[in-house]
Amino acid sequence: MNSVKSNVIVKPFGARQQAIVSLGDTHFVMGSSMIHDTISQSSRPIDLLLATLATDCTFACQEAAPALGIPLHHLTTTAQWVDGTHSHAEIRFGMNGPDTDQSNLMIAFVKNRCQTYKLLSPVLMITLKAVI
């Protein structure tokens, strides 16, 4: 039997359905999806999924520029849920350097190289947009 070392540790605490999540040496508080508290705006697991997708897409976009010979002077990625059902995510790449055709090539590269995109796209509508 193979032993698998866990990279993520989750420890629930308190009556507010929250948990301390440890990922290596990074620790943060995550709120349950069941919480509908508009005051605290706790990060929920579904929001962490969106953040993971956006981060992985960012790294793939950074990788695309030199691989395709495209200048990329600045990149800021934003992500949001398009609807309240969390069935459609929109990732926007704010880019300085590429023209429209080059940014389209970069997005195609991201779709091909980003592991999180490839994992989620069969079950989640994901729109990737370049803002140049």
pLDDT, position 5: 65
Burial classification of residue 6, based on how many CB atoms lie within 10 Å of its CB (0-12 exposed, 13-18 middle, 19 or more buried): exposed
Mean pLDDT within 12-36? 81
Per domain, the residue ranges of the chain are 1-43, 45-131
d(CA 129, CA 118): 16
Does residue 100 carry a pLDDT above 90?
A: yes
pLDDT range class, residue 42, cuts 50, 70, 90: low
User: Would you say 28 and 21 are in contact if contact means Cβ atoms under 8 Å apart?
Assistant: yes
Which has the higher per-residue pLDDT, 32 or 86? 86
Sort strands 88-96 and 18-23 into parallel, antiparallel or unpaired. unpaired
**DSSP designation for 97:** S
Segment among 4-8, 20-24, 64-68, 103-107 with least mean pLDDT: 4-8
H/E element, 100: helix 100-113
pLDDT at 41: 58
Any idea what DSSP says for residue 98?
-
**Over the stretch 61-86, which tens digit does the pLDDT of each residue have?**
999 999 999 999 999 999 999 987 89
- The structure's pTM equals 0.82
Query: 35 or 91, which is more confident?
Result: 91
CATH number of the domain located at residue range(s) 45-131 in this protein: 3.30.300.20
